[in-house]
Structure 1
Amino acid sequence: MKEPNLKLAEWLKRAGLSNREFARRIKDAAHEAGQAQISTDGTAIRRWLEGNQPRRPLPGIAADVISAEVGYRVTSTDLGLGESPAEDRSLLYNRDWVVTVETVSDLGRADVDRRKFLAAAPFAAVAATGPSRDWLLATLDQQPEPGPRVRLEDVTAVKNMFSEFQRIDIFQGGGSGRLVLAAYMNVHVYPLLRRPQADDVRRALCEAAAEQTYLLGWMAYDNGEHGTAQRYLIQSLRLAQESANVPLGAHVLAGMADQATLLGHPEEGLRLAQSGRHGLRGSSAAALADLWALEGRALAALGDKTGAVAAVTQSEVAAEQIDHEREPEWALFIDPAYLHGEHAMTLRDVGDHAGAADHAKWSIDHARQQNRARRGALSQAALASTHLQRRDLEQAHAAGLRTLSLAGKVKSSRAVEAVADLQKRMEPFGRHRLVADFAERARVLTAA
């Protein structure tokens, strides 16, 4: 005889959801994730409460629904719906070091194998609440397994590879080389985490692993694989905490903030950026400038013009203190091309057309000097949108064509999304020949 699922009953009560409403939310979440074949009703939920176990991916979707309702991450295990799958475990910031190592290793293997469950894993807006809090507070036990000791030379080799893969991301886009990096991590880096290390080697190894895991997440984010990206970023934050490298942890939170705001959760993006800034305590001017810039992006999305402009000003103040000779390698991209590009989009979103155009042009100039096509494409799109706000379709079309040209040089879904956003902004101009021309050229890019 089946045992009633008292855990699920308790969580439904805590979330204030009836069986029918819970079923409706699951169905809606499944459809949003592209799984329209999934259908649930109140009767199905009643059977779960009686002890029946739903098939995958229903437990994970149910956990997402409850998590969104209560405001923090809840797993399918918490709901009594079976062991949490790998894609769910990788959303958790685990206090146990051994569990963390196995989680990030499982995530890397699933990514390389292109397993369907990971590709379909959704972005979970509330999943960062616990990790960002624990990053500020936690100090963890160290439990390496027996085996050959890791040497500093091993760590140096890992860090040398980071610079190569970061260059691939910056100049070719996140869709280029990510699976090669994931395979490298699975074979050469994550196994090192299981071996014993001296304290100084351990911190250096965790720092190197955190950098590369962050880069995996960032490249997935740039390629539009947001569920995968979020999971890598959370595990990178855990590794950064283990390394005791505060600027690196703040940098990871910046990436998480950027993603949350982009996906329509600016309140979460704001909280993450502020958490990183408070934890940073001024130890990296580059990271501080980035966090202020992303705080501005979130505030602009929330409609807070005064706060957004103030954040841009604070970012500029911090940027004046950046000395890249003293900054870590992961901070090299936080430069005028990047910062001016972010400020351009912030000011555009709060209606400061002239200020946005100035920052966009400065970003474009720096990106051109560095041959950074992705950043150039994003800033050209921002410039084009400021022209549209001033009803100057000809200038917008010209900047749009430059956006298309640059976007075609990189494998980046963000660049393609910037083109799509520009198309949408042109819609008020109706069937104008320049609108039609841009739409046709954009269609060729998106098809490719």
Structure 2
Amino acid sequence: MERLAKGRHHLANRTSLLRMISAWESGARDASDPYRLLLCEAYGKSPDELGLGGGTEHVRSDIGLAYLGSLESATSALGELARFDEMKHSAVILGKYMPDALNAACLDWLFGESLADLRLSGSKVTSQDVAEVRTMTENLDRLDRFLGGEQCRLMALRYLRERVVPALKASKTQAVGRDLFSATAILCELVGWMAYDTSRHSRSGTSPRP
């Protein structure tokens, strides 16, 4: 991989690269570009043949654009959209900005049916976890205003995917659940603005709103 990347891509150091490969093999993390592209080139196989697709071959073309009345489906879509974005998947990167989709989603939200069918499991989430999400969102906002750039957006995406989405699916009281979804919506709005500010307009229009 290092030989293929020479003069084309800047990779992590050898120690970090070995840790990343271990995480890819165990399924703990998805390989993002340019690593995914280099692995495919090295082995002459597609991402799915190497097990690096993460199930993305079945990604919906309207992910993040359609209103999902099922809370379970909406939460899953939030995690998937963040994951595909972080992977630089073509379904997210090459997607078109569709302002009309917002109108349709709003109408579905106003007049469609909703289903509170989220299955909860794992450790219990408390008000302290909600406070953490709010504090992290404020810090990410300040960092973005001070530094800007794609790195801030990727930090927010990773936090959303690795910390917030699992918390949404964890056990909690009804009051904590409402507060957590409210805090998550604000974080999603921030991610959307970050995408817009970095000229990723298609992704700014597909940031899920819990």
2:165 is the alignment partner of 1:190: yes
Q: 1: distance between equivalents of 2:142 and 2:163?
A: 20
TM-score by length of 2: 0.66
Q: What is the distance in 2 between the residues matched to 1:117 and 1:198?
A: 35
Give the corresponding residue for 1:395: none
- Cα 1:138–1:173 change in 2 (3 A) is farther
- Please state how far the C-alpha of 1:118 moved relative to its aligned partner: 1.4
Q: How does 1:139-158 map to 2 (within 5 A)?
A: 140-147=114-121, 148-158=123-133
Letter in 2 for 1:104: L
Q: CA offsets, 1:392-424, max 9 Å, x none? A: xxxxxxxxxxxxxxxxxxxxxxxxxxxxxxxxx
Distance verdict in 2 for CA 1:87–1:218, change over 3 Å: farther
Q: Which has the higher contact order (CA 8 A, sep 6+)?
A: 2
Q: 1:201 aligns with which of 176, 185, 200?
A: 176
Other-structure match for 1:131: 105
User: Of residues 74, 80, 90 in structure 2, which corresponds to 1:100?
Assistant: 74
Shift of 1:174: 5.0
Could you give the per-residue CA deviations for residues 341-384 of structure 1, whole angstroms, max 9, x where no partner exists?
A: xxxxxxxxxxxxxxxxxxxxxxxxxxxxxxxxxxxxxxxxxxxx
- Distance across 1 between alignment mates of 2:136 and 2:112: 29
Which letter maps to 1:226?
Answer: H
Normalised to the residue count of structure 1, the TM-score between the two structures is 0.32
Aligned counterparts of 2:168 and 2:160: Cα–Cα separation in 1: 11
- 1:111 is aligned with what amino acid? D
> Which of residues 165, 186, 195 is equivalent to 2:140?
165
Distance 1:94 1:222 in 2: 26
Asked if 1:88 corresponds to 2:65, the answer is: no
1:275-310 Cα deviation digits (max 9, x unpaired): xxxxxxxxxxxxxxxxxxxxxxxxxxxxxxxxxxxx
* Structure number having the greater helix percentage: 1
Aligned length: 153
User: Separation in 2 of the partners of 1:224 and 1:191?
Assistant: 29
Contact 2:69–2:109 (CA<8 Å) still a contact in 1? no
The structure-2 alpha-carbon separation of the partners of 1:187 and 1:118, relative to structure 1 and needing over 3 Å to count, comes to same
Cα distance change on mapping 1:87 and 1:174 into 2, 3 Å = farther
What code does the residue aligned with 2:137 have?
Answer: F
1:115-130 → structure 2 map (5 Å cutoff): 115-130=89-104
Does the residue aligned with 2:171 lie in a helix, a strand or coil? coil
Cα RMSD, aligned residues only = 2.0
Structure 2: give runs of 5+ residues left out of the alignment: 1-56
Relative to 1, partners in 2 of residues 1:212 and 1:219: Cα closer, same or farther, differing over 3 Å? Answer: same
The aligned amino acid for 1:192 is A
- Residue by residue over 1:127-172, the C-alpha shift from the partner in whole angstroms, topping out at 9 and shown as x without a partner, is 1122222444567332232322221111111111011011122233
Runs of 5+ in structure 1 lacking a partner? 1-82, 240-448
Whichever residue aligns with residue 175 of structure 1, its letter is E
Name the SS for the 2:206 alignment partner: helix
The question of whether the paired residues in 2 share the 8 Å contact of 1:86 and 1:106 is answered with no
Distance 1:144 1:117, change over 3 A: closer
Report how far residue 193 of structure 1 moved.
Answer: 1.3
User: What pairs with 1:204-283 in structure 2 (closer than 5 Å)?
Assistant: 204-232=179-207, 235-236=208-209, 239=210
1:110 aligns with 2:84: yes
Contact 2:99 2:205 in 1 (8 A): no
What displacement does 1:112 show?
A: 1.1
Counterpart AA for 1:227: S
In our comparison, the structure showing a higher alpha carbon Rg is 1
